[in-house]
Amino acid sequence: MHTLLDVLASGVHDAKNQLFVAESLITAAETQYGVELGEARYAIEAAATRLSRTLAAYTLLREDAQPAITPVIVADLCAEVGLDQKKHLAAAGIELSQSCSVVDEWPLDRDLVTDMLNNAIQNAGRHARSRVHLDARLDAGWLVFSVEDDGPGFATLPPACGTGLTVAHRLAFLHRRQGREGSLQLSNGASLGGARFELRLP
Amino acid sequence: MSEYAKKRFLVIDDQPQARDALRTIAQTIGAFAVEFATNYQDAIYRIRNNVPDIILCDYVLGEGRSGQQLLEELRRFNLLADESIFMMVTGEQSYEQVVSAVELVPDDYIIKPFSPDKLVLRLDRIMAKKEFFKEYYQEKRKKEYAAALAILEAQRNSEAGRPYRFEILRQRAEVLLNSGDSEGAEQAYRGILENYEFPWARAGVARSLHRQNKLSEARSEIDRVVASTPHFFDAADLKANICMAQGEHAEAQQILDDVAKKTPRNYQRKRLLAEAATLNGDTETACAIMADVVANDTMPGAVTPEDRLALARSQVDANDLISAEKTLVGLKESEMQNLDLDAQASYAALLAISSPGRGKPRFAGLRPAMMSAQLATNSRLDILRSALALGDHELADHQAKALLEGEEAKRSFGAMRKQYALHGREQDFRNIQKRVALKRIHHDEAPKPSA
């Protein structure tokens, strides 16, 4: 009954529980001593995210991978990504701005799409000079998320395809609806002048 | 002051460290009143006594229980008002797979670790949503279905309702199903499926078709759901129910046996398994499972007189008449007084076999009602068996005819035939069958009144 996936999932689960305890201790210390330890909490959450991502990568690359699709309020998702990344980027002198013109719910895998956008923003933040922008809009029946920065752009196009990107392409592709499937496009020359990450979901 | 200062929180987690962590987070967002529950029973006890405003429940509760099972049980016993917030807390991504498939979902779930800010963001949104649906919840609770539907209809077309479009459609389909409009519910679920292939909506179609007694259609819909989402256990239950209605009892038992192994403390599912085993003629399994349910389902009020009747039925099936008598006589006086006619009839019928001295007079006293009233399938089968054993052909044949004419004919067919065969009356049973079939043909051929 115990497959490799069960073993991995159980290990990740236990580690994340420990990280949660660590984060709550930091939270308690912040209250007790009146200090701001946001970066320490960010580091803990980033470690947990890495663990989740590893597990998600393993799951998604399997033949029978299925995203967990629920109706999601797109504006809420963007707000959450902003909450996750804004302070951290600000600490590095980079401003994260957002625009979301989508009012309705959209069927998508909330956790994995959130993580993909977090990842895209982290990448953009590493190369940006001072700005990263997250946008969500509807385009002819597609939901389009984009992340742009004002850095130098991708050195090669398409960029070298690492594990992260392979998983991202796969996740986009697994979003299928009414005979259409999602896709991921990376390009240069965005409105901010740097790289542009675009996720299109049916 | 935070608006969460006035809310009563309940944190449910079997791990002390994780409990403390959740309390810290709750206190950081302003909560004063944070109660703990350390396990499943404790959680139910506390919620029953004093419903919290906000429940933070870990998905893994130990002892083979999950937060999802707790949520289902709370809904089943109507312990959780729509206004209360139930937030599942989980370290595993796999819970997302559950939420995306099942019909019964929490208000939201949050993945550990998370910051107090994130919890606030999530809770704020749920409160906004509860506010939006406030009037609808009131009508729903009063079972004022038409009023509830009218509210949803108005919200569906409103600008403010746009972020809740799917939730409105989902609630609408559920209300239609609960109000008895199975055809309307089917259409509502199909409308959702045009948007996206949600497993819960496909299961809703199957459920609606089952209620319309369109069994083979229901079966092919639910087969799709079960094949694509093996972790959607309620869909397996529904499939088993449809199989039983189709008379495929062996398959129903197999399905339930597989799922019950994965949910060892789900006693509702075990009841269903015992029912399938009974219909399948596997008396040993039925006996063992019902004994387990009666002994171990420790929720107050969970073990009903119907459960004891089911246990006695399986004991009579197994020809263990002494145990059956003990089970029946063990029913409390207060329970006896509140039995409905179905349960009274089953009680008398089972007692007439296991303890003729006491049971026969009671059975005879109910005979006029048994000859005239509308009764549930299980009760009719119990009566049929006792009537055959007592040589009351008229009473037995009346039940057989009613069952064969009813919507659950396939479900009860095997059991009926077996009882008639046991008393050497196969030919009589075939004759009843023929008469019912002829009557049905006549009925179908009769010209429909013109519109």
Among the partner-chain residues A9, A70, A83, the one whose CB lies closest to the CB of B100 is A70
Within this chain, do residues A8 and A103 fall inside the same structural domain, yes or no?
A: no
Domain housing A25: 2-62
- Is there a contact between B100 and A69 if contact means CB atoms under 8 Å apart? yes
Which chain B residue has its CA at the smallest distance from A13's CA?
Answer: B91
Question: A129 and A40 share a domain?
Answer: no
Residues of chain B with Cβ-Cβ distance to A70 below 8 Å are 96, 99-100
Question: At residue B407, what are phi and psi to the nearest 5 degrees?
Answer: -75, -15
Asked whether residue B178 carries a pLDDT value surpassing 70, the answer given is yes
Q: What angle do CA A68, A114, B171 make, to 5 degrees?
A: 50
**Among chain B residues, CA nearest to A67:** B97
User: Do the beta carbons of residue B182 and residue B166 sit within 8 Å?
Assistant: no
* Pair A79, A98 in one domain: yes
Contact at CB, A12 and B21, closer than 8 angstroms: no
- When CB atoms are compared, the residue of A66, A68, A105 closest to B99 is A68
CATH number for the domain that contains residue A95: 3.30.565.10
Identity of the residue in A23, A52, A104 whose CB atom sits nearest the CB atom of B163:
A104
Burial class of residue B78, CB neighbours in 10 A (0-12, 13-18, 19+) = exposed
Quick one: A162 and A195 in the same domain?
yes
Q: Judge whether residue B450 has pLDDT over 50.
A: no
Are residues A77 and A32 part of one domain?
no
Looking at the fold, whether A163 and A82 belong to one and the same domain comes out as yes
A10 and A81 in one domain?
no
Relative orientation angle of helices A38-60 and A110-127, to the nearest 10 degrees? 120
Number of domains in chain A: 2
Give the one of B93, B198, B228 whose C-beta lies nearest to A111's C-beta.
B93
Q: Are A17 and B92 in contact (CB < 8 Å)? A: no
pLDDT digits (tens, 9 = 90+) for B381-391: 999 999 999 99
Mean pLDDT of B404-418: 94
Q: Does A110 touch chain B (CB under 8 A)?
A: yes
When the pLDDT of each residue in chain B is averaged and rounded to a whole number, the result is: 93
Residues A116 and A55 in one domain: no
- Asked whether B122 and B108 are in contact (CB, 8 A), the reply is yes
pLDDT in tens, B295-353: 998 777 789 999 999 999 999 999 999 999 999 999 998 889 999 999 999 999 999 99
Residue B4 is given by DSSP the state: G
Question: Is there a contact between A69 and B18 if contact means CB atoms under 8 Å apart?
Answer: no
Q: What pLDDT score does B74 carry?
A: 92
A24–B166 C-beta distance less than 8 A: no
Instruction: State yes or no: pLDDT of B98 exceeds 60.
Output: yes
Distance in Å, alpha carbon of A17 to nearest chain B alpha carbon: 6
Domains of chain B as residue ranges with CATH: 3-132 (3.40.50.2300)
What number is the average pLDDT over the span B62-68? Answer: 86
In the structure, how many helices (H) and strands (E) does chain B have?
Answer: 24, 7
A116 and A160 Cβ atoms separated by less than 8 Å: no
Residue B51, pLDDT > 80, answer yes
CB distance from A191 to chain B under 8 Å? no
Report yes or no: A65 at the B interface, CB cutoff 8 Å. Answer: no
Measure CB to CB from residue B115 to each of A41, A68, A75 and give the nearest one: A41
- Compute the count of residue pairs across chains A and B with CB atoms less than 8 Å apart: 114
| Contact assignment for A16 to B112 by CB distance below 8 Å | yes
Contact residues on chain A for B28, CB-CB shorter than 8 A: 27-28, 31
- CA gyration radius, chain A: 18
CA within 13 Å, CB half, B93: 30
A55 in contact with B at a CB cutoff of 8 Å? yes
> Are residue A197 and residue A101 in the same domain, yes or no?
yes
C-alpha distance from B142 to closest chain A C-alpha (Å): 28
Q: Are B47 and B10 in contact (CB under 8 A)?
A: yes
In terms of domains, do A113 and A147 share one?
A: yes
Residue at a domain's end among A19, A40, A62:
A62
pLDDT computed for residue A2 by the predictor: 67
Average pLDDT over residues B218-230: 95
Do the Cβ atoms of B28 and A27 come within 8 Å? yes
Split at pLDDT 50, 70, 90, the class of B445 is low
Using CA of residue A125, residue A127, residue A128, residue A129, what is the dihedral sign?
A: positive
Q: Please indicate, yes or no, whether residues A49 and A20 belong to a single structural domain of this protein.
A: yes
Which of A11, A37, A62 terminates a domain? The answer is: A62
In chain A, which among 3-22 make CB contacts under 8 A with chain B? 9, 12-14, 16-17, 19-22
**Distance between CA atoms of B326 and B337, rounded to whole angstroms?**
18
Q: Model pTM? A: 0.90
Residue A146: pLDDT band with limits 50, 70, 90: very high
CA distance B231 to chain A (A): 12
Average pLDDT, integer, range A157-179: 89
Residue B451 has pLDDT above 60, yes or no: no
A47 and A109 co-located in one domain: no
Asked whether residue B449 carries a pLDDT value surpassing 90, the answer given is no
d(CA B386, CA B346) in angstroms, rounded, equals 10
Q: Which ranges of B406-425 would DSSP assign to H, the alpha helix?
A: 409-422
